[in-house]
């Protein structure tokens, strides 16, 4: 018989882990074989051998674009890592010089060169400041792809790591194990590990909600007249942003739109593209094009800004591709739409991948609300994709800067439309002991929507 432990704890059993209550021998065991199968389901597909293809951009093409940089330095004040480190090699023009030397063969891919290039957040703030219009994002992505060609054993390991994050089924296996890891104290131990990436991983894992199967299929409109829309829910965001997805579906169906969430959709590809796997990113983009091309709805709506930017640049569905905030702002609302007043100060964070101030304009429709832009929105918060795991020290420093600014604003709520930024803010706030709710704009809008009729309240409670 398993040894009884404290209330609602897990006890070690020859067959696995069992949850027991004091004074009660009954309980649910999670057999060791089940844990083994789940871990195997995570690890084996991610480590499946692949043929390494040639990189998409040749060194000659890379050099041609890099040569457009005149090294004027106007980008320097806009670069988060240069502002932090004051090192020319960690500035856009410094990295471009390194990329030129790497592509021409003047420099080999040494650990130091890799470090300076990997510190780039890919926020692309430098592009808006560049008078020559250099496509820095394309340069740094191509450089990462070039470095992956000589990464050795680290290449399949990096690919496995990206697959764990970007494949919903694999990520689902991980999130199912998180409650067990938390109750058994494993996450607490990892948070005390000497490795910063491991500590950061445990912090982020603590912010991931309990696993729920991502929604799929068609949700009919609750009122007449709007047509239909498709919803892109992404990979990590399909789990981390589940409340956002639910809120978006409820709001859109109440506006008269049938919402279709295609089950066959996959990751947008941004994680792979920014980590040196452009072919894998292109494969994912091609798969999404096949899913979303037919039948054509009124709009293809995205919830996460980073996913939107990747889809916008890589797919051919540009005319109907819109963020949820832009779609809501440009679509006539039913006359029955009313919002419950809310007296609160709401700081609006502007993710690096976002364009326009749609969330700020939308939130002004809620009576009593005081929405305002978070200071220094143009500077990245450090939550860019896998950056908190690959560069935890810089990510932490950039995040702490944002928290310091947020404290000064006396905000009650922080609103952001990026999955990575949401996790970054929640993690840093918890560390700082700051009690400010982090929401997506559509969550706040749906929360304040005044549903007059009993039938409406029932629909929204489902």
Tokens standing for residue 262: 């295609």
Is residue 344 pLDDT above 90, yes or no? yes
Cα 302 from chain centre: 12
Do 304 and 410 belong together in one domain?
A: yes
Residue 97: inside a domain, yes or no? yes
Smallest CA-to-CA distance from 305 within 343, 376, 357 is with 357
On whether both 378 and 265 belong to a single domain, the answer is yes
Give domain status of residue 293, yes or no.
yes
Residue given tokens 């597909």 in the structure block: 45
Average pLDDT over residues 356-362: 88
Final residue of a domain: which of 125, 148, 171?
148
The residue among 128, 148, 168 that closes a domain is: 148
Can you read off the two tokens belonging to residue 92? 């856009």
Q: What's the average model confidence in pLDDT over 359-365?
A: 93
Whether 389 maps to a domain, the answer reads yes
> Given pLDDT bands bounded at 50, 70 and 90, which one contains residue 4?
very low
Which residue would you say has higher pLDDT here, 71 or 48? 71
Query: Residue 453 corresponds to which tokens in the numbers above?
Result: 């009729």
State yes or no: cis peptide before 295, omega within 30 of 0.
yes
Considering the chain, what is the average pLDDT of its residues? 83
Residue 54, pLDDT > 70, answer no
Task: Say whether both 252 and 122 belong to one domain.
Answer: no
48 vs 3, which has greater pLDDT?
Answer: 48
Stretch (H or E) spanning 20? strand 16-21
Same domain (yes/no): 323, 250 = yes
Same-domain pairing of 248 and 325: yes
CB 29, CB 15: distance < 8 Å: yes
Give the CA radius of gyration of the chain: 23
User: CA of 266: how far to CAs of 46, 74, 256, 270, 354, in Å?
Assistant: 15, 38, 27, 11, 21
* Cross-strand partners of 230: 260, 300
Q: Please check whether residue 7 lies inside any domain of the structure.
A: no
Q: Are strands 16-21 and 9-13 parallel, antiparallel or unpaired?
A: antiparallel
Q: Give the integer Cα–Cα distance in Å for 37 and 280.
A: 27
Residue-number span of the structural domain to which 131 is assigned: 59-148
If asked whether residues 107 and 247 sit together in one domain, one would say: no
Domain count for the chain: 2
Measure Cα distances from 410 to 66, 374, 377, 435 in Å: 43, 11, 16, 11
Band (pLDDT 50/70/90 cuts) for residue 426 is very high
The answer to whether residue 29 sits within a structural domain is: no
In a domain, 265, yes or no: yes
Contacts of range 431-434, beta carbons closer than 8 Å, 24 or more positions apart: 431/203, 432/400, 432/403, 432/407, 434/403, 434/406, 434/407
> For the domain that residue 133 is a member of, what is the CATH number?
1.10.1060.10
- The verdict on 130 and 234 lying in the same domain is no
Residue 178 within a domain:
no
In this structure, are 460 and 353 located in the same domain? Answer: yes
The string of pLDDT tens digits covering residues 259-299 is 999 999 999 999 999 999 999 999 999 999 888 876 677 89
Question: What is the torsion angle, in degrees rounded to the nearest 10, for the CA atoms of residue 418, residue 424, residue 425 and residue 426?
Answer: 110
Q: Helices marked H in 315-418 — which ranges?
A: 324-330, 358-363, 387-390, 392-409
Tens digits of residue pLDDT in 367-419:
999 999 999 999 999 998 889 988 999 999 999 999 999 999 999 999 999 99
Whether 352 and 443 map to the same domain: the answer is: yes
pLDDT computed for residue 56 by the predictor: 63
**Burial level of 122, CB count in 10 A (0-12/13-18/19+)?**
buried
Q: Check whether residue 362 and residue 434 sit in a common domain.
A: yes
* 408: exposed, middle or buried (Cβ count in 10 Å: 0-12, 13-18, 19+): exposed
Statement to judge: residues 265 and 397 lie in one domain: yes
pLDDT digits (tens, 9 = 90+) for 202-260: 777 777 777 778 889 999 998 877 789 999 998 888 888 889 999 999 999 999 999 99
Of 324, 330, 285, nearest in space to 416 by CA: 324
Has residue 112 got a pLDDT over 50?
yes
Q: In whole angstroms, what is the distance from residue 459 CA to residue 253 CA?
A: 10
């Amino acid at each position: 018989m398993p040894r009884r432990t404290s209330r609602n704890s897990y006890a070690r059993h020859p067959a696995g882990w069992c949850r027991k209550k004091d004074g009660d021998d009954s309980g649910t065991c999670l057999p060791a074989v089940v844990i083994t199968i789940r871990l195997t389901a995570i690890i084996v597909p991610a480590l499946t051998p692949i043929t390494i293809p040639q990189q998409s951009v040749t060194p000659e093409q890379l050099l041609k674009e890099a040569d457009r940089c005149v090294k004027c330095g106007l980008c320097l004040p806009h670069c988060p890592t240069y502002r932090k480190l004051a090192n020319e090699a960690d500035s856009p023009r410094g990295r471009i010089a390194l990329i030129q030397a790497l592509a021409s063969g003047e420099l080999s891919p040494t650990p130091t060169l890799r470090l300076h290039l990997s510190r780039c957040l890919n926020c692309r703030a430098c592009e808006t400041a560049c008078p020559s219009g250099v496509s820095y994002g394309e340069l740094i992505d191509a450089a990462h792809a070039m470095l992956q060609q000589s990464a050795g054993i680290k290449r399949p390991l990096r690919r496995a790591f990206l697959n764990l994050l970007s494949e919903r089924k694999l990520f689902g296996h991980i999130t199912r194990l998180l409650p067990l890891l938390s109750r058994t104290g494993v996450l607490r131990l990892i948070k005390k590990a000497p490795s910063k990436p491991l500590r950061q991983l445990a912090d982020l894992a603590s912010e991931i909600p309990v696993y729920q199967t991502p929604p799929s299929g068609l949700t009919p409109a609750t009122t007449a007249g709007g047509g239909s829309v498709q919803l892109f829910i992404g990979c990590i965001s399909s789990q981390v942003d589940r409340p956002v997805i639910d809120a978006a579906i409820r709001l859109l169906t109440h506006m008269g739109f049938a919402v279709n969430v295609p089950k066959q959709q996959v990751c947008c590809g941004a994680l792979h593209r920014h980590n040196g796997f452009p072919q894998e990113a292109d494969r994912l983009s091609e798969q999404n094009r096949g899913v979303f091309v037919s039948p054509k709805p009124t709009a293809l709506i995205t919830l996460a800004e980073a996913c939107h930017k990747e889809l916008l640049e890589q797919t051919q569905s540009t005319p109907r591709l819109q963020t949820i905030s832009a779609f809501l702002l440009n679509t006539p609302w039913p006359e029955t739409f009313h919002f419950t007043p809310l007296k609160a100060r709401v700081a609006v964070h502007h993710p690096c991948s976002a364009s326009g101030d749609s969330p700020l304009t939308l939130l002004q429709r809620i009576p009593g609300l005081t929405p305002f832009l978070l200071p220094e929105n143009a500077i990245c918060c450090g939550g860019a994709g896998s950056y908190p795991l690959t560069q935890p020290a810089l990510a932490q420093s950039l995040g702490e800067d944002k928290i310091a600014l947020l404290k000064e604003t006396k905000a009650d709520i922080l609103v952001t439309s990026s999955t990575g930024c949401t996790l970054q803010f929640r993690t840093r706030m918890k560390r700082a002991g700051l009690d400010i709710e982090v929401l997506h704009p559509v969550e706040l809008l749906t929360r304040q929507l005044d549903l007059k009729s009993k039938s409406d309240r029932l629909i929204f409670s489902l």
